[in-house]
Amino acid sequence: MPATILLTIALSDFIWIVVGLLVMFTTLSIVVLSLTWLERKVLGRLQLRLGPTRTGPMGLMQPVADALKLILKEDIIPASSDKAIFWAAPIIVVVSAFMIWVTIPGTQSAVIQNLNMGLFYIIAFSVVGILGLVLAGWGSANKYGTLGGLRAAAQLISYEIPIIMVAVSVAMLAQSLDLREIVSAQDEYIFLLVQPLGLVLFFIAGLAEVGRTPFDIYFAESEIVGGPFVEYSGAHWSVFFLAEYINTFAVAALTVILFFGGWSGPGLSGNWEIIWFLFKVYMVIMVIFWIRGTFPRLRIDQLMAFAWKVMVPMSFLSVVMTAVYQFYEWPAWSLTAMSSTALLVVGYLIYKRMTGSTRLVAQVRSRQEALQAQRKAAANAPAGGD
């Protein structure tokens, strides 16, 4: 008898997990479709274009049409590619992207499997995706692909460190690695208010982690024409695409959970709070699109320099600040002050270092004035024709 009961329990758990995964898969696919539509529409309006308009009202069916096209397209596999690696790479990338979502909660109860080491688990899995990119670059036997894969490895591993350190400082503030507890720790004030530096670091590193502009170095279209994905087509390529957008969504969701108080918001309770959560996540994603529409791309050495010379020290600083604040039990505003001061100082230093743009303008102007003065002084006679 007990054996059957145990079996029933195990089976029901198993069924629950399978159902949960299926729900997750469908939800995320719909989310990705919505994101592709949103990105094209937002970027279109930003650039004074219309974006998709033809398929369905306001082009709403465009992502569906795209997905259908990608699935029906011929899947070209280069003859010289390493077939096994070529096949495995997209699977690794997309599985790791989905695995992250197992533990990201939408509300207090809407989560497939909450882990009390949730944050740790997410960070651990986000590194696995890099392997897929490197393999994709290598396996497709293309030089652009290889360059892209290696760029991806360098970039993603560098930016993993600031992400970890900022996550640690948030975990210290919340005294937990459990995402649900991190959210409930923000009941009083959201962590954005005490750790603005952490937010900026996390957001920038997150952008780099998912390869959004200005950190889209590893598939930079104008340089290495798609990097690791250059040889992929059809369904294989769409898998990468799927993973990329799921990761973008995950970074936005983590930003919201760690710094914007997750699903907490006025007016809603219970599972309806997921509306607040989605609202905040989509707002963050809009900012990502906005940045994509504004900035050029960094160069790989500048990107690495930025990671190791700015991001890593600053993330350590944010951990130290949090630790000091926690150890001496200072009031919350002291951490806010420390954090925002550090942010402003770094921002100013970068501004100074990279441009001194006022200096540049002055330079340009004085150059012009000097030239004009020189011309007037010469008062040269008109030269002849041809």
Partner 1 sequence: MAQVSKTTNRNGEPIEMLLNMGPQHPSTHGVFRMVLWVDGEKIVDVEPHIGYLHRGSEKLCEGEQYNQVITLFDRMDYIANFNNEQIYCRAVEKLMGLEVSERSEYIRVILCELNRIASHMLFIATMGLDAGAMTPSMFCFRGRERIQGLFEAVSGARMMHNYFRFGGLKEDVPDDFVPQVRELLELVKADTDESDKLLSFNEIFLARLKGIAVMTAEDAIDYGLTGPCLRASGVDYDVRKAAPYSVYDRLDFDVPIGLDGDCWDRYYLRVQEIYQSIRIVEQALDQLPEGSVESSLGRRLLRPPAGEVYVRAENPRGEIGVYLISDGSDKPYRVKVRPPSFCNLSALKHMLKDCWIADCVVILGALDIVLGEVDR
Partner 2 sequence: MFNSLKGLVVTLVSTMHGLRAPVTRQYPSTGNLLKRHDEPTPVKDRFMGFPALTWDETVGEPYCTSCMVCIRGCPTQCMSAVMKDNPLFIEEKSTRRKIVDTFEINLNRCILCGICVEVCNFDAIVMTHEHEMSTYNRNGDRVDLSALLEIGQKHQKATDWIPPTKRVKAVTGGDTGTGPAAAEAESK
CA distance between the termini of the chain? 107
Supply 330's token pair: 């200072």
Site for partner 1 contains 348 (CB under 8 A): no
User: How far is C-alpha 5 from the geometric centre of its chain's CA atoms?
Assistant: 45
3-state secondary structure of 132: helix
Site for partner 1 contains 385 (CB under 8 A): yes
Site for partner 2 contains 24 (CB under 8 A): no
Site for partner 1 contains 143 (CB under 8 A): yes
Which one of 1, 3, 57, 267 is in contact with partner 2 (CB under 8 A)?
A: 57
Site for partner 2 contains 363 (CB under 8 A): no
Shortest distance (Å) from residue 39 CB to partner 2 = 13
Site for partner 1 contains 302 (CB under 8 A): yes
> What does 299 bind: partner 2, partner 1, none (CB cut-off 5 to 8 Å by kind)?
partner 1
> What does 12 bind: partner 2, partner 1, none (CB cut-off 5 to 8 Å by kind)?
none
Residues 6+ apart with CB under 8 A from 252: 206, 281, 282, 284, 285, 288
Site for partner 1 contains 309 (CB under 8 A): no
Which one of 113, 175, 302, 357 is in contact with partner 2 (CB under 8 A)?
A: 357
- Residues 212-231 close enough to bind partner 1 by CB under 8 A: 213-214, 216-217, 220-225
> What does 59 bind: partner 1, partner 2, none (CB cut-off 5 to 8 Å by kind)?
partner 2
As a three-state string, the secondary structure of 20-83 is: HHHHHHHHHHHHHHHHHHHHHHHHHHHCCCCCCCCCCHHHCCHHHHHHHHHHHCCCCCCCCCCH
Supply 79's token pair: 């003859």
The b/e string for 106-127 (b: 16+ C-beta within 10 A; e otherwise) is bbbeebbebbeebbbbbbebbe
Rg (CA), the chain: 25
The length of the chain in residues reads 386
Shortest distance (Å) from residue 119 CB to partner 2 = 28
Distance CA 372, CA 366 (A): 10
> What does 222 bind: partner 2, partner 1, none (CB cut-off 5 to 8 Å by kind)?
partner 1
Interaxial angle between packed helices 332-354 and 312-328, expressed in degrees from 0 to 180 and rounded to the nearest 10:
160
Distance CA 155, CA 218 (A): 8
Site for partner 2 contains 293 (CB under 8 A): yes
Shortest distance (Å) from residue 38 CB to partner 2 = 13
Site for partner 2 contains 351 (CB under 8 A): yes
Site for partner 2 contains 55 (CB under 8 A): yes
Q: Which residues bind partner 1 (CB under 8 A)?
A: 43, 46-49, 143-144, 147, 151, 213-214, 216-217, 220-225, 292-302, 350-351, 354-355, 357, 360-361, 363-364, 367-368, 371-372, 382-386
Q: Which residues bind partner 2 (CB under 8 A)?
A: 42, 44-50, 53-59, 290-291, 293-295, 347, 350-351, 355, 357
